[in-house]
Structure 1
Amino acid sequence: MVTGASSGIGQATAIRLANSGYHVFAGVRKEADGAALQHQAGGAVTPLILDVTDEPAIREAAKVIEDSGLPLAGLVNNAGIGLTWPVEAIPLETLRWQYEVNVFGQVAVIQAFLPALRRAKGRIINIGSIGDRLTLPFAAPLCSSKWAFASITEALRMELHPWGIHTVLIEPATIRTAAVEKLRTDAEGVLEQMTEVQRAYYAVNYRAMTAKGYAREQGGSDPDAVAKVVLRALTAAKPATRYKVGKDSGLLAFVARWLPDRTFDQIRFKLFGLPPKFGSAS
């Protein structure tokens, strides 16, 4: 079962797994997405209309797999959204929605599919982000939700150990997907929602961050790089607990772990075109 399979990493994963001999149940947003996925895959794909915030739809998807009689070899939790906002300006309902999709929705899916996973000794493969090791300016909504999801994954890894259920976290870094273009187009919409005072505070730096982020992501790895790692995590006799994947993933993980905070801050200021001098807006 692969959630968020309409495009990007989820789509690439569904195709690779189907081509590797798995029967893939693919959570998609629209029937047209499912039809396109079936056309692209060389193996068996069953599309399921699935919104991870819709609990009845999650239960129905679990029932479809149950009724299929197929053992559930793995659950790939890929569905998610990424929002960028200044913390001072983000509406709380928007922040809650980020967590509804990236955290609560993931837990709802895991809970629904765990009975089938337990019977088959299947695996849980959670698609996190290198952002669960570091935080970027204006990306607190996305990164903090990924930190939370990484913590939940770690707890599950220990809690499900007695049943022989491997729980794996995959941490993509710079991956080129349709979400990259969305980052740029969404930025102006975010600015429009801010108050005039908030725009005066943040517009220049926020635009600089999104422009730099867009440029970096355009040169990112293909989503199939993540799909290959998902397949490895599903088939390895003893999978790693975490897999870093994508351009710059190793470097980012290294500097996040070992550099002092202030030094790493200066690097992030430079990377995203933000003023490096403390109090420069005073």
Structure 2
Amino acid sequence: MVIRAACLVGAGAVLMGALDYWAAPTYPVHQSGAVLITGASTGIGLHAAKGLAEMGYRVYAGVRSQADVEKIKRENPSLEPVIIDVTIEETVTRTVQQIKEELKIQGLKFVGLVNCAGVSRRLPLELEDMDIVKQLYEVNVFGVTRVTQAFLELLRDSQGRIVNIGSVAALLPHKGSSTYSGSKAALEMITDSLRLELAPWKISVSVVQPGYVQTALAEKQTGDNAPWRKADPEKRTLYQAWIDKSDSSRQEAHDKAPGPEVTTDAIKHAMTSTKPKTRYVVANVKGTPAWVLAFLGWFLPDRVKDVIVQRF
């Protein structure tokens, strides 16, 4: 019975994949041109920037400080660093104008936007600081909206592409992720709606949904940097069982995670395929492939998901 059920599920997945490919439109492919990647000072963003530059694109690496600009110029001369804080309108407007002027001189088109800037955070909702939650949404949701709006004119002119970096956390809930998962779930729907809105201009919109990827983000969420350390001490005791396991759990996930090459491969495909996927579920969570968790999130009833997540 179990084997039969597994076969039926597998056959269903193959059928859905075939239908999705059949229904997918064909998009123009740009072998050259300019791309902006926000959040490109480290991790997923920087790795993707270097990968696209190696393919021949002129890559604008979005960073937030002059120190990051100097570091990229020194260590990655193939990239063009620009200061852009996705939460500050002025820096976004300035970056758009700079890129417009430079590309006009060079005779290049702006062919891609990768919204990679993001904030990761794990903390039960009751322990959250509202000012920090607002800032998280300002980066993960409003920042993506702000930057995308600003570059749509250039993307429409080139029939370019948009790639948003989401998370598998948007697909399968877990403790301590109310605000972060919520922001990524919002990004999920923004991506889906934007894909429909921009279809008349043949602008592809995809989302990459990684599980854990080995970057410096884990260090910002564990040990002395763990967000729970700044929470209300009295309320903290209510979640002590979660707190006791949070650091080791996060570290285990980080240790078993692949490097950012998995996200870069997805971004490259989304940028260059004639039929880019709408979603790229990559990496893993404590060794379990992220696509398995995404499937369970879609397939299982809510209460069953709750039992599995709470147990494991």
Normalising by structure 1, we get a TM-score of 0.90
After TM superposition, the structure 1 = structure 2 runs for residues 65-214 of structure 1, keeping only pairs within 5 Å, are 65-69=99-103, 70-185=108-223, 188=226, 190-214=227-251
Q: Distance in 2 between matches of 1:54 and 1:242?
A: 28
Q: Which runs of 5+ in 2 are unaligned?
A: 1-35
CA RMSD of superposed structures (Å): 1.6
The answer on 1:47 being equivalent to 2:95 is no
- Could you tell me whether the CA contact under 8 Å between 1:15 and 1:40 is conserved in 2? no
Q: How many residues align?
A: 269
Paired letter, 2:242: N
Q: 1:129 to 1:191 in 2, by over 3 A?
A: closer
Paired letter, 2:180: L
After TM superposition, the structure 1 = structure 2 runs for residues 14-33 of structure 1, keeping only pairs within 5 Å, are 14-33=49-68
Residue 307 (structure 2) aligned to one of 243, 266, 271: 266
Q: Give the match for residue 27 of structure 2.
A: none
* Alpha-carbon distance, 1:6 to partner: 0.6
Q: Distance in 2 between matches of 1:73 and 1:140?
A: 34
Q: Distance in 2 between matches of 1:87 and 1:256?
A: 21
Residue 263 (structure 2) aligned to one of 226, 229, 239: 226
Paired letter, 2:41: S
The answer on 1:237 being equivalent to 2:278 is no
Q: 1:18 to 1:40 in 2, by over 3 A?
A: farther
Q: Distance in 2 between matches of 1:211 and 1:47?
A: 36
Specify the SS of the correspondent of 1:256. helix
Q: Distance in 1 between matches of 2:55 and 2:67?
A: 23
* Alpha-carbon distance, 1:204 to partner: 3.0
Q: Give the match for residue 10 of structure 1.
A: 45
Q: Distance in 2 between matches of 1:54 and 1:207?
A: 37
Specify the SS of the correspondent of 1:24. strand
Q: Give the match for residue 5 of structure 2.
A: none
- Could you tell me whether the CA contact under 8 Å between 1:175 and 1:246 is conserved in 2? yes
State the identity as a percent.
35
Q: Give the match for residue 274 of structure 1.
A: none
Q: 1:161 to 1:217 in 2, by over 3 A?
A: same
Q: Distance in 1 between matches of 2:229 and 2:298?
A: 36
Specify the SS of the correspondent of 2:110. coil
Q: Give the match for residue 291 of structure 2.
A: 250
Q: 1:219 to 1:39 in 2, by over 3 A?
A: farther
* Alpha-carbon distance, 1:223 to partner: 0.5
Q: Distance in 2 between matches of 1:35 and 1:182?
A: 23
Q: Is 253-262 or 107-116 further displaced after alignment?
A: 253-262
How far does the alpha carbon of each residue in 1:199-242 deviate from its partner, in whole angstroms, 9 at most, with x for none?
Answer: 11113312313421221122101112111110111000121111
